[in-house]
């Protein structure tokens, strides 16, 4: 079940808004086990926020109750739509909430996210952002991450990817150079018009969606994707959402367990609904492979309390006041450092908590009472 199907089952009409144009092959590639949603309307955002909002307002037979982000690429558009709604149409529906636009970039861009966390005096990972042609500067930063034995562990990633896409772990200068080049396309491999046409025919997102749809085997699905990566030219690579990678974020590697803190926020009050512990291991030549995850619960609740307090501080630093959040935290026991990645989208690991995630967009917000306190944070109590 998805949030959209849950809301539809409660009698709400769901309007789908795409943050960019997508080909039909991607729109129609939905996992077979997902309950179909009867969309009341579908809109593709063309760049003009006011026009998109006016299109939503012109849809007949509905009264807009609220907005919810579908995935990472929709964060900024949702901020813009809700911000404009509150400014222009608050009298039509005062229940619609917004996180504003002043921190939208930090809510989506990993580098600015980290710096916003640091500015709030919270623990933040050591990091630096580099554009193309800056390999020498990258290596100088890597040197600052070396221990007394001259060893280092760093992570290289795009600033606006999703999941583990484009995330690399490096321990040698050669690995740093190779991964840096792969992310920004510095290798300058020329594949010619044939490869260019192939890229247009099927993007990384299409291959990923095809895999989810169980229409291709893993090898058949991702072999063309890897070929596509190898054919990137010097203008930069493209992430799973079809956006150009023009910079690389390099961060020190934090050891320790990685956790997920799933929360829901209403009017600046954050409540945690689940804490997960990741099981990631090296496999098949990759450093970060999901083996699974489990709901986490300690004997005394102290670690959960620390994780919840930290992530709620992160949400405050990013001015997240409304909606669900999925925060990934690595707790370094040795140095007590935490690095966080906050994603404003439906926490895809949650199933039984779907009603909780849907509750902030089902009016009125006052129908939600904040009550029971538990060791893992605070639990919702629905009126």
SS3 letters for 185-253? CCCCCCCHHHHHHHHHHCCHHHHHHHHHCCCCCHHHHHHHHHHHHHCCCCCCEECCCCCEECEEEEEEC
Check residue 62 and give its pLDDT: 87
Q: Three-state DSSP class for 39?
A: coil
- Look at residue 358 and tell me whether its pLDDT is greater than 70: no
Structural domains of the chain, count: 3
Cα 363 to Cα 266: distance, rounded to the nearest angstrom? 11
- Band the pLDDT of 366: cuts 50, 70, 90: very low
The answer as to whether 98 is a domain residue is no
Is residue 132 domain-shared with residue 243, that is, in the same domain?
A: yes
CATH number of the domain residue 303 falls in:
3.30.470.20
Cα 145 to Cα 127: distance, rounded to the nearest angstrom? 10
The answer as to whether 140 is a domain residue is yes
* Pairing of β 323-332 and β 258-266: antiparallel
| 188-213: average pLDDT | 39
Cα 315 to Cα 326: distance, rounded to the nearest angstrom? 10
Cα 333 to Cα 129: distance, rounded to the nearest angstrom? 26
Is residue 40 domain-shared with residue 182, that is, in the same domain?
A: no
Check residue 205 and give its pLDDT: 47
Helices (H) and strands (E) in the chain, counts: 13, 15
Task: Give per-residue pLDDT as tens, 226-264.
Answer: 443 444 433 445 544 455 557 899 999 988 889 999 999
- Look at residue 334 and tell me whether its pLDDT is greater than 90: no
Does the pTM surpass 0.85? The reply is no
The answer as to whether 365 is a domain residue is yes
Q: Which of 231, 251, 271 is the last residue of a domain?
A: 251
Q: Which of 251, 283, 298 is the last residue of a domain?
A: 251
Query: Any idea what the Cα angle at residue 7 is, between residues 3 and 13, rounded to 5°?
Result: 120
The answer as to whether 320 is a domain residue is yes
Lowest mean pLDDT segment, chosen from 53-57, 66-70, 192-196, 224-228: 192-196
- Look at residue 119 and tell me whether its pLDDT is greater than 50: yes
The answer as to whether 116 is a domain residue is yes
Is residue 118 domain-shared with residue 65, that is, in the same domain?
A: no
- Band the pLDDT of 151: cuts 50, 70, 90: very high
Is residue 359 domain-shared with residue 378, that is, in the same domain?
A: yes
Cα 23 to Cα 367: distance, rounded to the nearest angstrom? 39
The answer as to whether 132 is a domain residue is yes
As a whole number, the mean pLDDT across the chain is 75
- Look at residue 155 and tell me whether its pLDDT is greater than 90: yes
Give the range of the structural domain holding residue 365, as residue numbers without chain letter: 104-123+255-382
| 184-205: average pLDDT | 40
Element (DSSP H or E) covering residue 42:
strand 41-44
Helix axis angle, 110-119 to 302-317, nearest 10°: 100
Q: Are 14 and 43 in contact (CB under 8 A)?
A: no
Q: Which of 251, 275, 307 is the last residue of a domain?
A: 251
Q: Which of 138-152, 186-200, 206-220 has the highest mean pLDDT?
A: 138-152
- Band the pLDDT of 197: cuts 50, 70, 90: very low
The answer as to whether 97 is a domain residue is no
The answer as to whether 348 is a domain residue is yes
Is residue 225 domain-shared with residue 341, that is, in the same domain?
A: no
- Look at residue 360 and tell me whether its pLDDT is greater than 80: no
Task: Give per-residue pLDDT as tens, 158-193.
Answer: 876 554 557 889 999 999 999 998 888 643 332 223
What whole-number percentage of the chain has pLDDT above 70?
68
Is residue 283 domain-shared with residue 203, that is, in the same domain?
A: no
Is residue 82 domain-shared with residue 229, that is, in the same domain?
A: no
Q: Three-state DSSP class for 75?
A: helix
**What DSSP designation does 344 have?**
-
Element (DSSP H or E) covering residue 140:
helix 135-143
Is residue 212 domain-shared with residue 144, that is, in the same domain?
A: yes
Is residue 180 domain-shared with residue 160, that is, in the same domain?
A: yes
- Band the pLDDT of 374: cuts 50, 70, 90: very low
| 104-129: average pLDDT | 93
Is residue 220 domain-shared with residue 273, that is, in the same domain?
A: no
Nearest Cα to 132, choosing from 276, 245, 251? 245
Is residue 244 domain-shared with residue 262, that is, in the same domain?
A: no
Is residue 298 domain-shared with residue 280, that is, in the same domain?
A: yes
């Amino acid at each position: 079940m998805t949030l959209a199907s849950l809301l539809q089952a409660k009698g709400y009409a769901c309007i789908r808004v795409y943050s960019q144009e997508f080909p039909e092959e991607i729109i129609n590639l939905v996992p077979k086990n997902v309950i179909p949603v009867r969309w009341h309307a579908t809109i593709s955002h063309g760049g003009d926020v006011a026009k998109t909002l006016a299109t939503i307002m012109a849809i007949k037979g509905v009264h807009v109750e609220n907005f919810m982000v579908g995935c990472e690429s929709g964060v900024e558009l949702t901020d813009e739509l809700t911000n404009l709604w509150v400014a222009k149409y608050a009298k039509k529906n005062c229940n619609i909430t917004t996180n504003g636009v002043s921190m939208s970039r930090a809510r989506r861009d990993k580098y600015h996210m980290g710096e916003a966390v640091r500015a709030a005096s919270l623990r933040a990972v050591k990091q630096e952002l580099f554009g193309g042609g800056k390999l020498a500067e990258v290596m100088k930063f890597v040197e600052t991450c070396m221990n007394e034995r001259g060893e280092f562990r760093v992570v290289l990633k795009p600033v606006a990817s999703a999941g583990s896409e484009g995330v690399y772990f490096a321990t040698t200068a050669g690995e740093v150079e190779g991964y840096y080049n792969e992310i920004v396309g510095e290798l300058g491999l020329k594949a010619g018009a044939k490869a260019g046409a192939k890229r247009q025919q099927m993007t990384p997102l299409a291959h990923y969606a095809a895999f989810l749809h169980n229409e291709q085997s893993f090898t058949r699905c991702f072999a063309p994707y890897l070929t596509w990566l190898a054919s990137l030219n010097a203008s930069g690579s493209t992430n799973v959402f079809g956006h150009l990678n023009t910079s690389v974020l390099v961060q020190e590697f934090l050891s320790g367990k990685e956790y997920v803190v799933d929360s829901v926020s209403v009017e600046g009050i954050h409540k945690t609904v689940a804490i997960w512990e990741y099981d990631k291991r090296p496999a098949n030549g990759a450093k970060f492979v999901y083996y699974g995850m489990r709901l986490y619960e300690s004997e005394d609740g102290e670690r959960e309390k620390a994780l919840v307090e930290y992530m709620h501080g992160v949400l405050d630093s990013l001015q997240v006041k409304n909606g669900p959040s999925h925060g990934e935290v690595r707790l370094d026991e040795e140095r007590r450092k935490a690095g966080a990645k906050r994603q404003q989208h439906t926490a895809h690991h949650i199933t039984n908590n779907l009603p909780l995630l849907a509750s902030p967009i089902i009016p009125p917000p006052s129908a939600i009472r904040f009550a029971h306190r538990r060791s893992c944070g605070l639990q919702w109590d629905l009126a």
